[in-house]
Structure formats: C-alpha cells, structure tokens
Amino acid sequence: MILGIWDGHDAGAAIIDGKEIKVAVNEERLTRRKLDVGFPKESIKCCLEYLGLKPSDVTDVAACTSDFSKTITRVFPSMKDKYYLLRRRKVYPKFAQNQKNFKYKLTEIGPSYLTRKVSKRFLRKGLNRLGFRNYKMKIIDHHMAHAAGAGFCSGFDKALVLTVDGVGDGLSGSVNIFDKGRIDRISSISAKHSPGIFFEHVTNLMGMRELEDEGKVMALSDFAYKIPDNKNPMLNFFEVKGMNIKAKYSSVRMWKELRKILWKSPPEQFAWMAQETMKKKLVELFRNSLDETGLRDVAWSGGVASNIKANMEIRHLPEVKKWFVFPHMGDGGLALGAALQMNFEKNGTWEYKFDNVYFGPEYSKEEMENELKDNPKIRYEYDKNIEKRVADLISGGKIVFLYQGRMEFGPRALGNRSILASASSVESKNDLNLKIKKRVWYQPFCPSILEEDCKNIFRDCDCIERFMTMGFMVREEFREKMTSVTNVDGSARPQMVTTENDRYRKILESVKKKTELGAVLNTSLNLHGYPIVNTPKDVLDVMIRTRNPYMAMGNYFVELVE
C-alpha cells in the first residue's frame, strides 16, 4: 500500500495497492479552493476514509519535488499561498518591483542533498500531525513523477516518454525511455529554457491567469489569420537541439520581448504566434526523440501536454504508432505519478489497467437522499429509467446536470460530475454559457460520443480516447450536427465512451435513438471560478444558484421548484 502526496499547485493524494490505483483526489475538490496549494491533508484523509484505513496502515509514502523554492514553501507555508497568488497574478507584487525576476531565479534552482533533507523533515511533520507513524518516505523527482504517470498508465511495454511543463526540480522537461516500468532519462530541458513558462508569459500578457487560462490562449489562436514563419518573431525564441530545447532569452527578458510583440499585434494574432511556436518546437523535439531512440509508441505528460492542438499535430507524425497523454497531465497528477514510481522501485509493479479515471470519492443513495429531502427548493423522484429521461431532455434542448458515482480524477468531467446539453443546438450552448459556465465566447465545449460512432464522425480516428486529451478532425457532414462542440477549425476534443460508464453510455444510446447521433455536449459541473463539485450538497448548491431546472443524481430525477 503506497500513499502518494503532492503539496504544491493543485495538491492531492493517491493510494495504490498492488496493481490497482485505489483512490486519487485533489485538495481543491474538498476545500473548494480552486487549484489549492496547501498540504493535502483533506485529500489524504479522504483517501484513507474511502478505503477504511487508518494512517498507521500506511507503510510507504511517495512525495514529490524537493527543489529550492518548493523546500522554502514547506518551511514557511504562508509563502506558498503568496507565491502562487503572485504567480497566477491574483495579487499585485507590492513588496518587490523586481518580483518577477526574483520568482524565476528562485524556481530555477534545482534540488540538492540539503533541500531534500529539509523537505523530508517538513513533509514528515505534516504527515505526523495526521497520525502517521513508522512509514518509509521517498521524494520522487518532479519530472520523474510526470513521466511515471504517463509511462505506467499508457499500457505500453516500451515507449518514448516526454514531459514538458513550467518548472519543477530545476527542469522544464525530460525525454525518457520507458521499458517495462524502468524509466531512463536520456535528456533534460533546463528550467532556464522553459516552453511552459513561455506560454505562461503569453497568458499573463493577454490579461489572463497563468497556470489556469492557457487553454483560452490556444482557443483564441483559432481566430487569427495565418502568417508565414519568417513573420513570426516568436519562432526564434527557442532552438531545438537534438532532444533538448534552448531559449534565446532568460525568463524575464522573454516576457519583455513578448510584450514588445504584443504592442504590435492584435490579441488573436499574438495567441496564434505563441501557439504556432509551441506546436512547431514540440513537433521538432518529439521528432528528434523518435529518430534518436527508434521508438514508435509515445506517452507524455506535464502541463504543456494539455495543449491539444500540439498533441494532434504530434499524434499525426508518421513516426508515431501509438499515442497516450496522461489525463491529469499538470501538477495535480503528481501524487499518483510519485506513488506509481515508488511502487515500481519497491515492488517492481508496472502493469496497470487504466481504462477510467473514476478514482475519487462517491456518495451512497442514502447520502444523496438525505441531501434532497426537506429541501423546499426542489422536488425529486426515483426513476428506474432515468437515462431515457435525461436523453429526452437533452434532445429537447434542455441542459441537464449528471451527478453519479465516483468523482473524476483530473481536470475533465467524464460523465460523473458533468453538465450535458445537445451537441447540435447553438441555443443550448449559448444558454449554458450565459447562465452557468460564463466562458469567453471563443472557448469551445467538448463532446462525449459513443466510441463506435467516432470512426464515422472523425476523419482521423486512429485510437480510443477516453479522457478528452486529444483533438480530432470532424468530417464536414457532421459539423452541422455537432455545431455546439466543433471548433472553428473543424476539430473537436471528444470523450469516447466505451463500457466504463454504464449510465452515461445508456444516456448516449438513448440520445442516438432520437437524433441518430450518439453525442452530447459535456462540460464540467461547477460554478464559474470554482472546482468541480464533489458532494451531493455541492451539486445541489450549484443547481439552486444557477437555477438550472434539471438534474439526474444517481437514479433520482431532481427538478427545481419554480
């Protein structure tokens, strides 16, 4: 039994036993603070409680990252909040004009014997406070934990594993060979040359939140006109040398250079140049790594792996045979990655069945009913055929909340904490945006589709993608029928639904009977700016606050009383 913990941006915990990922959850879902950075005490408690364990039952703990800045925040936890608030531009850096410089210099310092020792001491303090005793602890390297998530969950025996992110343990990326659990690092990208920080800068300069809104930059880039490479000044910012990336400027200088470009460019053009740069440099890095290693199956992780447009490009390289993106690619997935790595080092375990990410807590029928009863704002009834009822409402243009089973691990709702609407109705999409999600106009929604329909719908359907991590091109004839979930460039980021979620599948099958297309719009069930709901109380609160009239909570059909 191994407990993995991560106590930074999007903190969390996970427990693995043998070949099974038993439970995994992020702190934000429990504290209701988005991307919570605190010590993951609620996540640890939640994991133990779910399995009916006591802290003393845990014999091994895998933590992650021991670079200088992470260690400092462990010694002075109040700095952590401040650091991330600053990093995500939620507070103005009053106390130091030169804060940006300071910040990047600090985060670029890698781990050492001393930082590892201090980190371990303070992590133990946090665990001991929760009642942990007599356990072995190991701190797994940041990029090793990212690589482990991708490698162990890919289902591949041998693969090329890449990680690219902002920064962690002095690095912003790594190239590795995964061979039956053994991960050998063959190249490291220094934190000083970080493609992730480059994209954070772009996000920041566009007035958006770093580490949160990078997807918006990518979405906006679709609306720019294309320019030739020699007119894109950002392409010179990085040089890919073999399996490494070198930046032309320091992090701070890069920010200043980007600001100059922004002055002369409309925002969508600025976003496009950045996206194009990211895509081209990653393609080069992957291509060189594929050539160098001769490997054809690829897995990848790290925050930059959330860039689905770059993913689509890389997946289409003729050199790539099989392709896997770890669904919780950002730092929120580190607790699980660290646990997977420790499980291999200790027990040699490397084969996992990874066909779903329903790793979070779930609530019983009684707990649901306790929340529903005596609430004057709703009425509810038990419905054996709730799937058909939900499908009828969606097909009729209504928005329906779907709450059931174990919460998803990772940023995507995959049918257990989801808001569903018609894939073909622009009105439903606009309604959803106006009343509930409050997204910017250019940010697209994604579909969930019956797996067997995907080959028909997509031009380039070459794999089963259950986790919404890849873009596929929608065939012309389906774009009209899927107008609310197809991007302006004709791509969509689907969840392909196989047999892992019985109720969700039945809903899609019922939708198909009515509309001939087993597809719905699926977006995460949360209030704008808040994490995805966890408990029945959370979801009822969102229903009442957004005044959305319909919800399926397990088999309970819940309606708002006018």
CB–CB of 320/282 below 8 Å? no
Minimum CB distance to Fe ion smaller for 276 or for 331: 331
Contact 220, 271 (CB under 8 A): yes
As a whole number of angstroms, the distance between CA 547 and CA 562 comes to: 9
Work out how close the CB of 302 gets to Fe ion at its nearest, in angstroms, rounded to a whole number.
5
Q: Name the residue whose CB lies closest to Fe ion.
A: 165
The nearest distance, CB 62 to Fe ion, in angstroms, is: 16
Structure tokens belonging to residue 17 = 């036993």
Q: How far is the CB of 416 from Fe ion (least distance, A)?
A: 26
3-state secondary structure at position 502 = helix
Select the span of 101-109, 168-176, 380-388, 454-462 touching Fe ion (CB under 5 A): 168-176
Q: To the nearest whole angstrom, how small is the minimum distance from the Cβ of residue 85 to Fe ion?
A: 18
Distance in Å, CB of 331 to Fe ion, minimum: 4
Closer CB to Fe ion, residue 332 or residue 494?
A: 332
d(CA 301, CA 148): 9
Q: State the Cα–Cα distance between residues 198 and 274, nearest whole angstrom.
A: 8
In the complex, minimum distance from the CB of residue 422 to Fe ion, in angstroms, rounded to a whole number: 37
Q: Tokens for 315? A: 């997946």
Site membership for Fe ion, residue 165 (CB under 5 A):
yes
Task: Provide the residue type at 185 as one letter.
Answer: R
Min dist. Cβ of residue 288 to Fe ion (A): 22
Site for Fe ion in 325-384 (CB under 5 A): 331
Stretch of 167-175, 395-403, 421-429, 454-462 contacting Fe ion, by CB under 5 A: 167-175
For residue 13, with 0-12 CB atoms within 10 Å meaning exposed, 13-18 middle and 19 or more buried, which class applies? Answer: buried
Nearer to Fe ion (CB atom), residue 185 or residue 321: 185
- Cα separation, 495 vs 472, in Å, equals 11
The 281-320 site mask, x for binding Fe ion (CB under 5 A), equals ----------------------------------------
Give DSSP secondary structure letters for 394-443. HHTT--EEEE-SSPPSSS---SSEEEEEESS-HHHHHHHIIIII---TTP
Tell me the DSSP string of 214-269: HHHHHHHHTTSPP--GGG-GGGGGEEEETTEEEESS-HHHHHHHHHHHHHTS-HHH
Q: Which is nearer to Fe ion, 173 or 536 (CB)?
A: 173
Q: Please report, as residue ranges, which positions from 43 to 82 form the binding site for Fe ion (by CB under 5 A).
A: none
**What distance in Å separates the CA atoms of residue 343 and residue 135, rounded to the nearest whole number?**
14
Output 7 or 331, the one with its CB closest to Fe ion. 331
Question: Candidates 109-117, 166-174, 241-249, 393-401 — which segment interacts with Fe ion by CB under 5 A?
Answer: 166-174
Contacts of residue 47, defined as CB under 8 A and 6 or more positions apart, other chains included, come to 3, 13, 14, 15, 22, 23, 24, 25
* Cα pseudo-dihedral 338, 339, 340, 344, rounded to 10: 100
**If binding is defined by CB under 5 A, does position 451 make contact with Fe ion?**
no
Applying CB under 5 A, which part among 123-131, 158-166, 377-385, 536-544 lies near Fe ion? 158-166
> Smaller CB distance to Fe ion: residue 139 or 432?
139
Closest distance between Fe ion and the C-beta of residue 39, in Å? 18
Map residue 389 onto helix, strand or coil. Answer: helix
CA-wise closest residue to 239 among 288, 298, 302: 288
Query: How is residue 341 written in tokens?
Result: 């790595």
What value does the CA radius of gyration of the chain take, rounded to a whole number of Å?
23
Quote the least distance from Cβ 176 to Fe ion, whole Å: 15
Nearer to Fe ion, 146 or 406 (CB): 146
Residue 168 binds Fe ion, judged by CB under 5 A: yes
Please say which residue, 247 or 423, places its beta carbon nearer to Fe ion.
247
- Is residue 141 at the binding interface for Fe ion, with CB under 5 A as the rule? no
Helix (H) or strand (E) holding 560: strand 556-560
Q: Closest separation between CB of residue 64 and Fe ion, Å?
A: 9
- Residue 135 CA to residue 91 CA, distance in Å, equals 39
Q: How many angstroms separate the CA atoms of 326 and 467, rounded?
A: 9
Give the count of residues interacting with Fe ion (CB under 5 A). 3
Nearest to Fe ion of 337, 415 (CB atom): 337
Least Å distance, CB 330 to Fe ion, is 7
Selected range binding Fe ion among 164-172, 184-192, 236-244, 368-376, rule: CB under 5 A: 164-172
Query: What length does the chain have?
Result: 562
Dihedral sign for Cα 469, 473, 477, 482, please.
Answer: positive
Q: With contacts defined by CB under 5 A, name the span among 162-170, 186-194, 205-213, 348-356 that binds Fe ion.
A: 162-170
By beta-carbon proximity to Fe ion, the closer residue of 325 and 543 is: 325
Nearer to Fe ion, 7 or 165 (CB): 165
- Residue 493 tokens read as 């980021």
- Binding marks (x or -) toward Fe ion, 505..544, rule CB under 5 A? ----------------------------------------
* Residue 36 touches Fe ion, criterion: CB under 5 A: no
CB of 200 to Fe ion, least distance (A): 12
C-alpha atoms less than 13 angstroms from C-alpha of 242 in its C-beta half-sphere: 8
Q: Least Å distance between CB 167 and Fe ion?
A: 7
Q: What distance in Å separates the CA atoms of residue 203 and residue 218, rounded to the nearest whole number?
A: 10
- Residue 161 or 461 with smaller CB distance to Fe ion: 161
Q: Which is nearer to Fe ion, 108 or 165 (CB)?
A: 165
| Footprint on this chain of Fe ion (rule: CB under 5 A) | 165, 168, 331
